[in-house]
A and B are shown apart, each in its own frame.
Chain A
Amino acid sequence: GENVEQHPSTLSVQEGDSAVIKCTYSDSASNYFPWYKQELGKRPQLIIDIRSNVGEKKDQRIAVTLNKTAKHFSLHITETQPEDSAVYFCAASETSYDKVIFGPGTSLSVIP
């Protein structure tokens, strides 16, 4: 079955700096790669996703890249703000309505 790995497990950046989280997946059948943000005590919320027919996607300060050949995908957050502090999960799925396999998470702290 699918296995998603994620690095780093914790990340601390100064406000205004960029943050990068990297993930790998194992199942070549995966075609949908969502990223979720989970604040303490709250539910996971989708922040951006990318499909296998696209190499890069951007939404304001957030961008994701996908290398399907290498089975790597990454999340880039620019101009970080304290409210970006949370746990971020990468994930993989065959489609957006199949079961989602999550990575172990990255705890991001943005220091004011």
Chain B
Amino acid sequence: DTGVSQNPRHKITKRGQNVTFRCDPISEHNRLYWYRQTLGQGPEFLTYFQNEAQLEKSRLLSDRFSAERPKGSFSTLEIQRTEQGDSAMYLCASTPLGGSDNEQFFGPGTRLTVL
């Protein structure tokens, strides 16, 4: 499978615990994005990377959230001291830079449930 992959697909955790999700983008895609989607809503932008550089973070991303892309390939999103309001689907997407016809390819998402 050469698409965007995310692990784990599902995560159930207790409030106050830390969780980490991983995203593997399509090979050689420079840009990698994280979005969060709650039930009945559209995806909300969280942050994105160009190679290893984090270019922008949404105001939605509190200081409990941190994202990295250390080698410009896979990325991790960590949530510290999880709260029930963090329960959502966390989507990753990637796109190549350059060219005139790019689209963001989404992964299957990681569904987080905070009890």
Contact = CB atoms under 8 A, between A and B. Distances in A.
Q: Do A and B assemble together?
A: yes
Given A43-B106, A96-B103, A97-B95, A105 B41 contact: yes
B91 A100 contact: no
- Chain B facing A: main interface SS: loop
Given A49-B103, A99-B33, A44 B95 contact: no
A43 B107 contact: yes
A43 B104 contact: no
B113 to A, nearest CB: 15
Nearest to B29: A97
Most B CB contacts (10 A, CB to CB) among A44, A45, A101 go to: A44
B44 A46 contact: no
Chain B contact patch, size range: 20 to 34
B43 to A, nearest CB: 5
16 contacts: A4-B42, A43-B91, A44-B43, A44-B106, A89-B43, A96-B101, A96-B103, A97-B102, A97-B104, A99-B56, A100-B43, A100-B45, A102-B43, A102-B44, A103-B42, A105-B40
Given A45-B106, A100-B104, 13 more contacts: A43-B106, A46-B104, A49-B103, A91-B42, A96-B102, A97-B96, A97-B97, A97-B102, A99-B45, A99-B48, A101-B45, A105-B40, A105-B42
Interface of A: 4, 34, 42-46, 49, 89, 91, 96-97, 99-105
